[in-house]
Chain A
Amino acid sequence: MVHFTTEEKAAVASLWAKVNVEVVGGESLARLLIVYPWTQRFFDSFGNLCSESAIMGNPKVKAHGSKVLNSFGNAIKHMDDLKGTFADLSELHCDKLHVDPENFRLLGNMILIVLATHFSKEFTPQMQAAWQKLTNAVANALAHKYH
């Protein structure tokens, strides 16, 4: 089980409090679809994904990104039991959505990059380390129920 130190929890929580979940969520998902275009295959019903601007402006992408990042917010409240917190979502992503778990790591990296663009120098190396640990742990928790 992943253990987060007090400092790591504080770093994650302090940045999270300043995050606009809707904006960061939408942008993270959009960047995933742009930078790793094969991920678009999971979102056939989302309409126009034909260019960077189409993806960034797509309301379904923004809405779903917001939903995904809200779920991350839930993770932050349960950092001592991520596997338990994500058990149902893990089964969903395996059994119904058929998402390769590697994509969870890619999305985690997108979230980090969006945080970096928004927070700039405030996204210190220690911040980055704590958030990288969190996104890796969430990716692992989401993959945990795969079979």
Chain B
Amino acid sequence: MVHFTAEEKAAITGLWGKVNVEEAGGEALGRLLVVYPWTQRFFDSFGNLSSASAIMGNPKVKAHGKKVLTSFGEAIKNLDNLKGAFAKLSELHCDKLHVDPENFRLLGNVIVIILATHFGREFTPDMQAAWQKLTNAVANALAHKYH
């Protein structure tokens, strides 16, 4: 089980308190679809994904991105039990959505990049390390129920 130090937890929650989940979530999912285009295959019903601007402006992308990042917010309240917190979502992503767990790591990296663009210098190396550890742990938790 992943263990977060008190400093790591403080770094994570401190930054999270300043995140606009709707905006950051939409941007995270948008960037995933732009930078790793094969991920678009999971979102056939989302309409126009034909260009970067179409993707970034797509209301379904924004809405779903917000949903995904809100779930991340739940993770942050359960840093000591991520596998438990994500058990049901893990089963869903395996059994119903058939998402390759590698995509969870890609989305995690995109979230880190968005935090970097939004917070600039405030996104210090120690911040980055804590957040990288979190996104890796969430990706692992989401993959945990795969079979």
Contacts and interface: CB of A to CB of B under 8 A. Distances in A.
Do A and B pair up? The answer is yes
A116 B31 CA distance: 13
A30 interface: yes
Interface string A109-140: 10011101111110111101100100000000
Given A113-B113, A117-B116, A126 B125 contact: no
Interface SS majority for chain B:
helix
A89 interface: no
A79 B81 CA distance: 45
A52 interface: yes
Contacts of B56: 125
Interface in B100-129: 109, 112-114, 116-121, 123-126, 128-129
Contacts of B126: 34, 52
Given A121-B117, A128-B35, A35 B125 contact: yes
Given A35-B128, A52-B126, A129-B35, A116 B52 contact: no
A56 interface: yes
B34 A117 contact: no
A116 B30 CA distance: 16
Nearest to B31: A125
B88 to A, nearest CB: 30
A62 interface: no
Q: Which of B114, B116, B124 has the most chain A CB atoms inside 10 A of its CB?
A: B116
A117 B119 contact: yes
B102 to A, nearest CB: 13
Q: Which of B35, B126, B129 has the most chain A CB atoms inside 10 A of its CB?
A: B35
Contacts of B119: 117
B125 A116 contact: no
A113 B113 CA distance: 6
Contacts of B31: 125, 128
A83 interface: no
A125 B116 contact: no
Nearest to B33: A125
B58 interface: no
14 contacts: A35-B125, A35-B129, A56-B125, A109-B109, A113-B116, A116-B117, A117-B123, A119-B117, A120-B117, A125-B30, A125-B31, A125-B35, A126-B52, A128-B34
Interface of A: 30-31, 34-35, 52, 55-56, 109, 112-114, 116-121, 123-126, 128-129, 132
